[in-house]
């Protein structure tokens, strides 16, 4: 995975100022932090600049966290959204389309881990795309050449190694698919109907 040139942008949506202060204090070293106290303010910031991860408090004055999320999805913003809530979330978090959640009050480590997981997931579709292209290329070679011919081909051996490396890197970006939110979040990334990113154009090696 390539490191982004600038720091990832995190939008903290939280109406309790001291809570938002501590998040900012914890995270400002690693991320560019922006803050919003209401859902309306958060949406207007999302219209103004690109945000990688939104930490969204569920209990907001005015628009609720759930409504803000719905609006973010409808406006097709390319950001991942983690819900922050004092209530242990149930299946509804998955259904509503949150990419992750943090239970309140979070520790610094929990916030960082959640942000990192969502950042890693934002490249999942691209990585799977590349991995698919390599596997498809291997299948094409395997249908064209016999096993004896293939073992002598250097580019085939290189391809097999690259496939292995890619697979390991992908599995590292989705480390815990036993988690329901991780699993649905990963599928949402590759689902053209609901992916936060624009559709990729075909880069298949046929």
Partner 1 sequence: MYDIDGVLPVDAVTSVQPGTNLLVVGAPMVGKHELALELLTKGFDDGDGVLCVTTNDSVAGLTDSLSQRGASFDPDRIGIVSCSGQESSGGPSDVATEFVSSPNDLTGISIGTVKILKSFSNRNISSIRHGILSVSTLQQYLDTRTVFKFLHIYTSRVRDTDGLGIFTLHSSTRDSEVVNTLSSEFDGVIELRETADDVREVRLTGVPAAPRTWCTY
| Residues of this chain that bind partner 1 (CB under 8 A) | 91, 94-95, 125, 128-129, 131-132, 135-136, 138-140, 142-143, 170-171, 174, 176-178, 180, 183-184, 186-188, 190-194, 202, 204
Minimum Å gap between C-beta 126 and partner 1 is 11
Give Cβ neighbours of residue 183 (< 8 Å, ≥ 6 apart): 177
CB neighbour class for 170 (10 Å; exposed up to 12, middle 13-18, buried from 19)? middle
Minimum Å gap between C-beta 205 and partner 1 is 12
Burial 148-168 (b: 16+ CB within 10 A, else e): eebeeeeebeebeeeeeebee
Minimum Å gap between C-beta 46 and partner 1 is 21
Q: Of 55 and 174, which has the nearer Cβ to partner 1?
A: 174
Query: Which residue in this structure is represented by tokens 């290329």?
Result: 137
Minimum Å gap between C-beta 102 and partner 1 is 19
Q: Of 86 and 187, which has the nearer Cβ to partner 1?
A: 187
The CA distance from 90 to 94, in Å, is 8
């Amino acid at each position: 995975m390539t490191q982004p040139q600038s720091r990832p942008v995190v939008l903290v949506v939280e109406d309790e100022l001291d809570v938002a202060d501590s998040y900012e204090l914890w995270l400002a070293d690693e991320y560019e932090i922006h803050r919003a106290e209401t859902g309306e303010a958060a949406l207007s910031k999302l219209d103004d600049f690109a945000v990688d991860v939104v930490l969204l408090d569920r209990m907001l004055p005015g628009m609720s966290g759930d409504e803000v999320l719905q609006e973010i999805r409808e406006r097709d913003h390319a950001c991942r959204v983690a819900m922050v809530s004092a209530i242990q979330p149930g299946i509804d978090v998955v259904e509503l389309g949150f990419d992750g959640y943090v239970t309140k009050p979070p520790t610094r480590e929990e916030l960082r881990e959640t942000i990192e997981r969502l950042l890693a997931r934002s490249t999942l579709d691209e990585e799977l795309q590349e991995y698919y292209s390599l596997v498809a290329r291997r299948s094409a070679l395997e249908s064209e050449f016999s096993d004896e011919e293939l073992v002598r081909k250097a580019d085939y051996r290189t391809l097999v190694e690259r496939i292995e490396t890619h697979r390991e890197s992908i599995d590292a970006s989705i480390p815990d698919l036993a988690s329901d939110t991780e699993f649905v979040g990963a599928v949402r990334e590759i689902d053209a109907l609901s992916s936060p990113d624009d559709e990729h154009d075909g880069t298949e090696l046929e």
